[in-house]
Structure 1
Amino acid sequence: MNWHIEHGDSLFVLPAIPEKSASCCVTSPPYWGLRDYGIPFTDWPEVLYSPMPGIPPVVIPAWRGCLGLESTPEAYVGHIVLIFRKVWQVLKDDGILWLNLGDCYFGTGGDTGNGPNSCVGPTADAAMPKMGRNEKHKNLAAAGLKPKDLVGIPWRVAFALQADGWYLRIDNIWNKLNPMPESVTDRPTKAHEYIFLLTKSSKYYYDSDAIKEEAKQWTGLSATFQRESGKATKLTIPGQNKASHRPDRKREMYPGRIKKDGTKGMPTYAVAPKALSRNKRSVWNVATVNYPGAHFATFPPKLIEPCILAGSKPGDIIIDPFNGAATTGVVSLRLSRRYIGIEHKQQYVEMSRRRIEDDMPLFNRSSV
């Protein structure tokens, strides 16, 4: 099983990958205003993009800095759009993109300013040391945001990519079973992120059978108050008579039943077995996990397994332009796929290589 992790900036490394060579991209870019990962600055060119379909395009001036540390949401979205224009070139025509993004709040330094979802507050102040707090507030206010507003970064990115030609297929919800606590008292604790499925065309490779979920077997019993609760009730379901709710009511006989031996000359019936799987649903309940390394945030392997299984076949190339701790690579190789990761920070490149080699030492070699 082949893999390669390239040290460099995705903006410049992606064009070096052969066009239409990858089947699937699974990635999570740096979130906006969250932290400084200590990577070298990128010289971003001017970017022209439309914030959403039907909206006039905006121009983002050339800028030198790190992705995620832009002064405005618009600049961040523009740079994300530019990166995924490069991803578009690498993906096959029937390839797909799984994009994980989290949101943040326009904080005030109070209960929304120092939590895990704040983009203006102590965390962001440390992440953007060359920009004063007042300037950041001014930029966000100019964008029409108010203190305590949810910025809506995932949807800003999704709509901009849609306007740029991507098909926005679904907004899967990553329901974190162990979310980070927040000190807020005027809204629920945020416990989810988005995993968008985007494609290059309306026809694309997607193996729904590979990620079907376990389903409860249908028993054949009608859904009545009596049997759902286990207690008798005087209430009736519209369209059913009172006899349907008797405590001693017998089982109904349904189409698809299997005849069994009866009693007193009357046959009884059992329900024919039904399929025990269903199409995967759009809320994915997965706990966060930590990888014992230097990287701040890692994918839980269980989160991206269905992305790779549904979006590729064994032997296909999976790419991640924001490699991080190489969780995408580890899962891809476990599932007999090939992997190309791009990582801007040398420390993470070395850590990722060790992680992959330790995970499958006898079967992996670094070459695609």
Structure 2
Amino acid sequence: MDDSLIPLRAPRFARYEHTLGRGYADAVEGSSLILGDALGVLSAMPAQSVQTVVTSPPYWSLRDYGIDGQVGLEESVYDFIDHLAQLFDQVWRVLRDDGTLWLNIGDSYTSGGRTWRAPDRKNVARAMSLRPATPDGLKPKDLIGVPWRLAFALQERGWYLRSDIIWEKPNAQPESVRDRPTRSHEFVFFFSKREKGYKYDVDAVRGPNGRRLRTVWPIKTQAFREASGHFATFPPTLVEPCVTIASEPGDLVLDPFVGSGTTPLVAGSLGRRFIGIELNPEYLTMATRRLTKAGFVDITPDDSGEAGSDAAL
């Protein structure tokens, strides 16, 4: 992040309970974190209200977050792709015609017939008591190709797939494998709603030696110390170029899978408004504390007139 950028206080911050049936038309006027199912919340948001979306949905079959309605534990990877594709249909609706989508998604391997996964000494969160079976059409130990399957599904639904970006992880976590290379990258897909005329400031971010940004981004993973219950935070330095290129100060940035709050944190630091949606109340509490600590937001009364607090979060 540019040291000359001074973190800006968001103009308004509120929390909404989707299960109470409240509307979200007023949320887009300021900055909001919303507790609820992403598809349901997006369906209630105004059309053409968001400038850019930067998000990282849960990956298929890699984590059990222990909450009903979670994405990523669908019985089939094809159900997972279809679930996300339907959700991004709503993202399309709320996105401005000159808006863009930046989608980080990781891959996974077939289970080889095992319905569980043992813990790893260096990654305790890897353990799962429930794991989907090998998808139809694939074999044990196959790399599934989830990112490209999702990218093609969105392409078929009308999105323009403008670029595949390789997030290279110089400090990638070791894997206990002896029959293939250790994976040290993920994909970020860049989509637009139309062929031309979408917001993309080519001079806003430069690569090494002042060159225009290229498609391989070497960015170290970054631990968030307070995220003891959240195992998949993505680094602010991955989000910063996306927000900077695709929006201007005052624009609205959306993350429908906000997790520990990295996208709103970056959006706030760059003077953008934000909406973050999260199904897990523990993660939303984590994001709220993180953003409040950074000075980007204040906890203000919600629709019920009751002031927000840690107890209420």
Class of the TM-score when normalised by the shorter of the 2 chains: 0.7 to 0.9
Question: What is the match of residue 75 of structure 1?
Answer: 79
Alpha carbons of 1:114 and 1:283: their partners in 2 closer, same or farther (altered >3 Å)? Answer: farther
In structure 1, stretches of 5+ residues that fail to align are 42-65, 117-121, 216-276
Q: Does the Cα contact within 8 Å between 1:323 and 1:341 map onto a contact in 2?
A: yes
Question: What is the match of residue 305 of structure 1?
Answer: 240
In structure 1, distance between residues paired with 2:118 and 2:174: 12
Question: What is the match of residue 281 of structure 1?
Answer: 214
In structure 1, distance between residues paired with 2:130 and 2:272: 36
Q: Deviations over 1:204-241 (max 9, x none)?
A: 110111111231xxxxxxxxxxxxxxxxxxxxxxxxxx
Paired amino acid for 1:7: L
1:85 to partner: Cα distance: 0.5
Question: What is the match of residue 250 of structure 1?
Answer: none
Paired amino acid for 1:152: G
Helix, strand or coil at the partner of 2:64: coil
Helix, strand or coil at the partner of 1:211: coil
TM-score (norm 2): 0.80
Q: Does residue 150 of structure 1 match 2:143?
A: yes
1:40 to partner: Cα distance: 2.1
In structure 2, distance between residues paired with 1:331 and 1:342: 15
Helix, strand or coil at the partner of 1:208: coil
Paired amino acid for 1:328: T
Paired amino acid for 2:253: I
In structure 2, distance between residues paired with 1:28 and 1:78: 16
In structure 2, distance between residues paired with 1:284 and 1:114: 31
In structure 1, distance between residues paired with 2:222 and 2:156: 34
- Matching of residues 344-363 of structure 1 within 5 Å: 344-360=279-295
Paired amino acid for 1:357: T
1:71 to partner: Cα distance: 1.5
Question: What is the match of residue 157 of structure 2?
Answer: 164
Q: Does residue 211 of structure 1 match 2:192?
A: no
Q: Does the Cα contact within 8 Å between 1:115 and 1:183 map onto a contact in 2?
A: no
In structure 2, stretches of 5+ residues that fail to align are 1-9, 12-30, 302-313
Q: Deviations over 1:261-300 (max 9, x none)?
A: xxxxxxxxxxxxxxxx211010000111111222111110
TM-score (norm 1): 0.68
Q: Does the Cα contact within 8 Å between 2:55 and 2:258 map onto a contact in 1?
A: yes
Question: What is the match of residue 126 of structure 1?
Answer: 129
Q: Does the Cα contact within 8 Å between 1:33 and 1:124 map onto a contact in 2?
A: no
Paired amino acid for 2:66: G
Q: Does residue 333 of structure 1 match 2:287?
A: no
1:316 to partner: Cα distance: 0.2
In structure 1, distance between residues paired with 2:217 and 2:191: 17
In structure 1, distance between residues paired with 2:128 and 2:206: 44
Equivalent of 1:19 in 47, 59, 63: 47
In structure 2, distance between residues paired with 1:366 and 1:161: 37
In structure 2, distance between residues paired with 1:334 and 1:151: 36
Question: What is the match of residue 178 of structure 1?
Answer: 171
Q: Does the Cα contact within 8 Å between 2:119 and 2:127 map onto a contact in 1?
A: no
1:349 to partner: Cα distance: 1.2
Question: What is the match of residue 66 of structure 2?
Answer: 38
Alpha carbons of 1:211 and 1:365: their partners in 2 closer, same or farther (altered >3 Å)? Answer: farther
Identity %: 47
In structure 1, distance between residues paired with 2:40 and 2:127: 27
Question: What is the match of residue 4 of structure 1?
Answer: 32
Q: Does residue 342 of structure 1 match 2:277?
A: yes
Question: What is the match of residue 47 of structure 1?
Answer: none
User: What root-mean-square deviation, in Å, do the aligned CA atoms of Structure 1 and Structure 2 show?
Assistant: 2.2
1:27 to partner: Cα distance: 0.2
